[in-house]
Structure 1
């Protein structure tokens, strides 16, 4: 009888073929598109994986305890807020992420949302389809010469910064952990400067206990009237009730949002139908190219830990 092959558990229903090709010495088990904690615990007890590739769902202490052989949890992407990192550290389990694998996709989506907000793309499209011609009454926002404030200067934030600079924007950046910030980004040491000077804000930071609700009634009030807000990072960075009030008052001119406090967004959410808010279903990093790059990156990172 042949020896049992080590198992990779994927908290999703698939993995890119290029990523699977790296796992020919392993068995791969899929948890499905919407795995619950109970699903993951059951699969861990049955298969005792050496690695978990995290696409969907959360991986906490109970899941880890159900897999005694588990040595590494690898994020299929860059954000590790769905992994209990303290619990993993306490159990000697490595947590790694495919940082930068979806940077191009997310940065492009952030730029698309910024342009959609500045140019009223969604509203004008709806008006046109309804038979209106608003050329005499509508004026868009010109971004050249205006300032965009970036919170987070990692792979995504810096790629977005280059795009914003290319269209003639002044780029401010806040990130106390960033290194080697390029000349095109004016780094600032305090968020007050970001709020005070930015005509648009774009969020590119991870969600932590320290920055949850970073965009709230107080910080929005400190911004320029009519500021544009773009979020392709994590929904928990924004107090959604405060943002809604700021859009309705005009303090926020428009917002382009790709992530939300609760996902999937529930029916009847206050953002639904609200003028000035452009929505997308957390798909900034979802492209065919990024799917392959994130899968390959996640598998390579996990194998690097397993191979010592």
Structure 2
């Protein structure tokens, strides 16, 4: 009988990444509950919610390792109570997500959906030069973790001044990025980009009041978590012309239902939570998730999510 550790994958495991396991472990599950009872580790996607009831189904479980940064779908307190270590992969999506953030910022500030509609014959008349030149403009980052730090460097290369707000740090880890309060950031920024986790203190942080504090004619980008933004308030700010546009890789709900008012607007770009889904980024997510799980099982250092106080 094999002595290899058993990794339960709670979603269909892509054959493309089978080589990341090879003879290091045995993969079970892959979208079914087969093998959960003998699983040493779970490789968790973003859909299934893992709590005390789920952990009770896996008496041998030692670690649950997320294929991603966020762990909203894992009850860390329940895991801790069950003796299960929770891991995430904070470095894996950093490059791809930062690039996607810059791509959304450029798409909306250059009014690309509007101009594409013009090219396709959907809009008539002379073009209006409303696109924003980013050189010399201010980018405000809500959260200054790894992804936001990389966004900051890219934005500085475009000639932007970058400011940030993050209650979790005392001084900026990125040269040339000034830390300010949230209200100051909203008032100063031509583009506000969200990089905070979904916590009780951050859910709905961009509400009607926050949007009103943003500069007239400014833009919002969100590649973090959908619940950070009140979408009804966002629509109202766009309809009123207070905001010029928004780029969203994450929404609430996710995905948005067909016919949602945020879809098919010329001032909004919505992508389906795929910021990290480059070829390199997806492989890195699975690589880090598997490596974390096997490291915990072997007693080696891993990227561990601390249980709540």
Cα-to-partner distance string for 1:68-120 (whole Å, 9 max, x where unaligned): 11111111111111211121122121111111211111111110110011100
Cα gap change, 1:14 to 1:129, in 2 (>3 Å): same
- 2:126 and 2:107 map into 1 onto residues whose CA distance is 17
Give the corresponding residue for 1:307.
298
| Pairing of 1:2-151 with structure 2 (within 5 A) | 2-3=1-2, 5-15=4-14, 17=16, 20-22=19-21, 24-32=23-31, 42-43=33-34, 45=36, 47-57=37-47, 58-130=49-121, 136-151=127-142
1:153-175: per-residue Cα shift (whole Å, max 9, x none)?
Answer: 11110010001000011100112
Structure 2 CA distance, aligned partners of 1:3 and 1:286?
A: 34
1:147 Cα deviation (Å)? 0.5
Alpha-carbon shift at residue 224 of structure 1 (Å): 0.9
Distance 1:48 1:276, change over 3 A: same
Cα RMSD for the two superposed structures: 2.0
Deviation at 1:22, TM superposition (A): 3.8
Distance 2:182 2:23 in 1: 48
Is the Cα contact below 8 Å between 1:51 and 1:70 reproduced in 2? yes
Is the alpha carbon distance of 1:19 and 1:97 closer, same or farther for their aligned partners in structure 2, counting shifts above 3 Å? farther
**Which secondary structure state, in structure 1, belongs to the residue aligned with residue 114 of structure 2?**
helix
Structure 1: any 5+ residue segments left out of the alignment? 33-38
Which residue in the other structure is 1:249 paired with?
Answer: 240
Q: Please, which of 200, 216, 236 is the counterpart of residue 225 of structure 1? A: 216
Q: What is the aligned length?
A: 297
Gaps of 5+ in 2: 300-309
Q: Normalized against structure 2, the TM-score is what?
A: 0.89
SS in 2 for 1:291: helix
Q: Helix, strand or coil for the counterpart of 2:204?
A: coil
How far is 1:148 from its partner?
Answer: 0.7
Segments of 4+ moved more than 3 angstroms: 3-6, 15-23, 42-45, 131-136
After superposition, the Cα gap between the structure-2 partners of 1:279 and 1:98, relative to the gap in structure 1 and judged at 3 Å, is same
- Contact 1:16 1:292 survives alignment (8 Å): no
TM-score by length of 1: 0.90
- Give distance in 1, aligned partners of 2:227 and 2:74: 15
1:182 corresponding residue in structure 2: 174
